[in-house]
Amino acid sequence: MTQTFQNHRRFYPLFHFFLVPVAFAAFVVSIWNTSETTDYTHVSISFLFFLVLVTAYTARTSALKAQDRAIRAEMSLRYFILSGKMIPAELRMGQIVALRFASDAEVIALTERAAKDQLSAKQIKQEITNWKGDYNRV
């Protein structure tokens, strides 16, 4: 499927549709059980499900930060190759991530406009006319 602004968001089904909902539901049920009987076992189970949620969140955000670093390096190199200049320092990470969807023909002008007008990531993506899909990020 060709990626566009409308369908570019990606979900990792095992994480988004299984691990988080099941762990959250189990955490809520364990809290409810703990409120019914304040037994050490129930408190321990609640704490363990809380740790599962924290671990899942930490793992996901760590992976996204690593991908963001790779995207920053890729976009800095791409911008330098196309323009001969360093990517504007005032760009935020979200803006740089959004700019990766722009084609080579429009990335220079859009980058400079994003830096000058402080466009949001959503505004940058909406400005792109020739979408360059990113099929590797999860």
At 4 the pLDDT is: 66
- Cβ neighbors of 94 (< 8 A, separation 6 or more) are 120, 121
The Cα 20–Cα 24 span in angstroms is 6
φ, ψ dihedrals at 29, nearest 5°: -65, -40
Which of 66, 62, 91 has the alpha carbon at shortest distance from 76? 91
Beta carbons of 99 and 124 less than 8 angstroms apart? yes
C-alpha dihedral (108, 86, 60, 131), degrees to nearest 10: 10
Residue 7 has pLDDT above 60, yes or no: no
> What digits encode the pLDDT tens for the residues 43-99?
899 999 999 999 999 999 999 899 999 999 999 999 999 999 999 999 999 999 999
> What digits encode the pLDDT tens for the residues 106-126?
999 999 999 999 999 999 999
Q: Which two tokens stand for residue 38?
A: 């304040």
Q: pTM of the entire structure?
A: 0.75
Residue 137 has pLDDT above 70, yes or no: no
Q: Choose between 95 and 136: higher pLDDT.
A: 95
Which band of pLDDT confidence, cut at 50, 70 and 90, is reported for residue 39?
Answer: confident
- Sign, CA torsion 28/29/35/40: negative
The Cα 107–Cα 99 span in angstroms is 7
